[in-house]
Amino acid sequence: MKASLVVFMKEVRENLRDRRTVINTLLTGPLMAPIMFVILINTVITREIDKADQPLSLPVAGAENAPNLVAALKQNNVDVKPAPDDPERAVREQDADVVLRIPKDFDKAWNKGDPAQVEVVFDQSQRDARSSVDRLRGLLEAYSQRGGAMRLLARGLSPSIIKPLSIADRDQSTPQSRSGTLFSMLPYFFILGCFVGGMALAIDTTAGERERQSLEPLLANPAPRWQIVLGKLGATTVFAITTVIVSIFAFSVVGRLMPTEKLGMSLEIGMGFVPYALIAMLPLAALLATLQTIVAAFAKSYREAQTYVSLIMFFVSIIPTMILTFLPIKQQFWMYMVPLMSQQMTITRLLRGEYVPMSGLAVGFLCTSLGVAILAWLTVRVYRSERLAISA
Amino acid sequence: MIEIKQLHKTFGKVVAVDDVSFLARDGEITGLLGPNGAGKTTTLRCLYTLMKPVRGQILVDGIDAAKDPRAVRRQLGVLPDARGLYKRLTARENIEYFGHLHNLDDATIKQRIDAAIVGLDMRDIIDRRTEGFSQGQRVKTAIARALIHDPKNVILDEPTNGLDVMSTRAMREFLKRLKSEGRCVLFSSHIMQEVAALCDRIVIIAKGRVVADEAPEALRQQTGEANLEDAFVKLIGTEEGLAA
């Protein structure tokens, strides 16, 4: 095993001298998760807070037909504006989130006690406009109920007779679980961080070594090839793991500082987060480092390797994450056995403050480590092939 | 001593080396001469166990390469056609790396590097990073690296490729010194004059086959040509690949 150590030390030393690699390992890779998280949270928070505090800007067509209603709206922090000529078009083209149209006969119907119609013009597919629409709806409902109650009172009846059903909401979501969908993207950034951290070495130690024509002299040494390969894999893994460790620590600091409670969410970064996340992520860092190495080993040049590794990075990191993020699969124990899925689930659950069973953590660790062993064995096999040793 | 017996190597349907046999003795310089694509590099690659021959036997100091490739590699100092260095490491670190891979202790490595600094005139470059080295400086480093374990047998694939006149002369002197130290030196070349000036024995390969295996003098007699270049052309039966 001495040769492995020699190769390992040399690869680490050589790559520590490469400024770009060091920056990727210590900065770009690890800070990806926290930075994306800050951007994500800030965008959401700013948008929500803006919408709630600021007056609702509402173009109203035919405001003169219902002065009382318009006055009530204005009292509730609505900024009534003249309507565009064609409200439907204005909404379709996103010039306005929502337009209220009051027909000419509104006052007549209201006074007669008939249902008076108002039209809310909006576009359901505009998710951004939804909170404006909901706010307007709420105001209109309240106005309607108030009117109805007044009418009943005027006839000497209790308003409660038209409320046979009283609905009380008992929301079972916790602040942590509401954060879930937002935070389920986070493991993806950790995984991406691993890739970025190991990428330079995975390529440099394989395709890079071939391209600069140093592989053939290296393999002419008496050291067995499997030991050379293990040394290379070890160096790449150490860089990837460094990225993950820095990433998780940076995140645990940044996450605590984020004002997520303003969103009615809570990010649970307790004492347990760092060790649990590390146990989940460390074997994955090794797995991805080995995967990158094996892919890069097939490439003849640095550039070719970069293409392969980027493709792998895209598919491997995105597919399981997408499945878990957007397909509502119920989380089940077997998922701890699948590398990537296991980490995705563990970290999401940690962030949501949910229980991660020790057995799940252990199964995830073991299965991912098994994956590392299989891939490392494959890499050694690749390096045994004659074709690989020839540079040109 | 290097013995190659009926070496045969194919890549798919292409026969690269076809029943090549020759002997390289200790204390002699053996030149493997042939036009480009004749099979020289493939023969050497089989020799330092980078490739496995389809059939045939290779013995280095009596060790069978097929049976114990690691022991064979230990007996060989190899300067392959590909002689890339690690450009973020200094020349010394490049050499030390191989010394450690040969399982040498630090004191031995230091002593051998000191010897190489003198022998190859590397004083100015030994502690410089190899990025930006000239071709000659790179070859020096690669040779020092290949010989760090003081091998009995030295194999060099086109060692003067890309070197200027002065470096080429220095290389020739160096090969002669290896010979005088009693080592078995085997090098390949496609340059007639170089082989003629250096070798005790010339093995000419063309199209994967050995067409002559003689001392330079005998070669001239065998072909009846006074000058070696004409002898060479006559033996390989074409002028292709002679232009260096």
Residue B195: give the domain boundaries. 2-81+151-236
CA distance A239 to chain B (A): 17
Contact present, A218 and A228 (Cβ < 8 Å): yes
pLDDT recorded at residue A325: 64
As a whole-number percent, the residues of chain A with pLDDT over 90 amount to 29
State chain A's mean pLDDT as an integer: 85
Type of residue found at A350 = L
User: Three-class SS of residue B79?
Assistant: strand
Question: Comparing A25-39, A138-152, B173-187, B222-236, which segment has the lowest mean pLDDT?
Answer: B222-236
Average pLDDT over residues B79-92: 92
Q: What digits encode the pLDDT tens for the residues A79-105?
A: 888 888 888 888 888 888 899 999 888
- The answer to whether the CB atoms of B50 and A222 lie below 8 A apart is no
Q: Report the range of poorest mean pLDDT among A294-308, A326-340, B50-64, B179-193.
A: A326-340
Give a yes or no: residue B73 inside a domain: yes
Chain A residues in contact with B85 by the CB 8 A cut-off are 212, 214
Chain B residue with minimum CA distance to A218: B98
The residues, ordered by sequence, that sit 6+ positions from A12 with a Cβ below 8 Å of its Cβ are A235, A238, A239
- Least confident among A69-73, A222-226, A268-272, B235-239: B235-239
Do strands B153-157 and B76-79 pair parallel, antiparallel, or not at all (unpaired)?
parallel
- Identity of the amino acid at A221: N
- State residue A324's pLDDT score: 64
Q: Find the helix packing angle between A273-297 and A302-326, rounded to 10°.
A: 140
**In the predicted model, what is the mean pLDDT of residues B100-114?**
95
Determine whether the interchain pair A18/B88 forms a contact, defined as Cβ–Cβ distance below 8 Å: yes
CB contact under 8 A, A2 and B102: no
User: Confidence band (pLDDT; 50, 70, 90) for B36?
Assistant: confident
C-alpha B74/C-alpha A222 separation (Å) is: 5
Question: Looking at residue B243, what is its pLDDT?
Answer: 43
Domain annotation covers residue B92? no
Averaged pLDDT, B203-218:
87
Rounded-to-integer distance, Cα B177 and Cα A113, Å:
117
Domains observed in chain A: 2-41+177-389 (no CATH), 55-170 (3.40.1710)
* pLDDT band for position B58 (cuts 50, 70, 90): very high
Residue B209 counted as domain residue: yes
CB A130 within 8 A of CB A137: no
Measured between alpha carbons, how far is B160 from A202 in angstroms, rounded to an integer?
Answer: 33
HSE-CB at A368 with a 13 A cutoff on CA atoms is 25
Strand ordering across the sheet containing B55-60: B14-24, B2-11, B55-60, B63-64
pLDDT for position B28: 94
Q: How confident is the model at residue B244 (pLDDT cuts 50, 70, 90)?
A: very low
How far does the CA of residue A214 sit from the closest CA of chain B (Å)? 4
- pLDDT at residue B122 above 70? yes
Cβ-based burial of B44 (10 A; exposed 0-12, middle 13-18, buried ≥19): buried
Asked whether residue B26 is domain-assigned, the answer is yes
Q: How far apart are the first and last CA of chain B?
A: 29
In angstroms, the separation between the Cα of residue A226 and the nearest Cα of chain B is 13
Report whether pLDDT(A313) > 90.
Answer: no
pLDDT at B222 over 50: yes
Highest mean pLDDT among A19-28, A36-45, A317-326, B56-65: B56-65
Provide the β-strand partners of residue B8: B55
Sheet strand arrangement including A119-122 = A78-82, A56-61, A98-101, A119-122
CA B234 to chain centroid, in Å, comes to 25
Low-confidence winner among A231-240, A345-354, A360-369, B102-111 (lowest mean pLDDT): A345-354
Mean pLDDT in residue range A158-177: 76
In one-letter notation, the amino acid at residue A2 is: K
B201-206/A119-122 β-pairing: unpaired
Tell which residue, B78, B47, B52, B40, has the closest CA to residue B63.
Answer: B47
Residue A216 contacts B where some CB pair is shorter than 8 Å: yes
Instruction: Compute the distance between CA of residue A288 and CA of residue A343 in angstroms, rounded to an integer.
Output: 13
Contact assessment for residue A40 and residue A34, using Cβ atoms and an 8 Å cutoff: no
- What residues of chain B, 45 to 64, have a C-beta less than 8 Å from chain A? 45, 48, 50-52
Query: What CA–CA distance (Å, rounded) separates A217 from B146?
Result: 8
DSSP 3-state assignment of B212?
strand
The predicted model scores a pTM of: 0.79
- Whether residues A220 and B48 touch (CB distance < 8 A) is answered with yes
What pLDDT does B2 receive?
95
The minimum CA-CA distance between B228 and chain A, rounded to whole Å, is 32
Residue B227 confidence (pLDDT): 72
Query: Best mutation site among A13, A213, A221 for testing chain B: the one with the most B CBs within 10 Å?
Result: A221
Q: Is A391 on the interface with B (CB under 8 A)?
A: yes
B96 within domain boundaries: no
Domain for residue B131, yes or no? no
A14-59: per-residue pLDDT in tens?
999 998 888 888 888 888 777 877 887 777 777 666 666 678 888 9
What is the rounded distance in angstroms from the CA atom of residue A278 to the CA atom of residue A269? 13
pLDDT at A7 over 60: yes
Cα gap A276→A265, rounded to integer Å: 21
Residues above pLDDT 90, as percent of chain B: 64
The verdict on residue B21 lying in a domain is: yes
At A326 the pLDDT is 67
User: Domain containing B63 — which CATH number?
Assistant: 3.40.50.300
Whether B82 and A6 lie within 8 Å, measured CB to CB: no
Chain B stretch 62-91, residues whose beta carbon is closer than 8 A to a beta carbon of chain A: 70-71, 73-74, 76, 78-89
How many domains, in total, are found in chain B? 1
Domain membership of residue B105 (yes or no) is no
**Cα–Cα distance measured from residue B201 to residue A263, given in angstroms and rounded to the nearest whole number:** 86
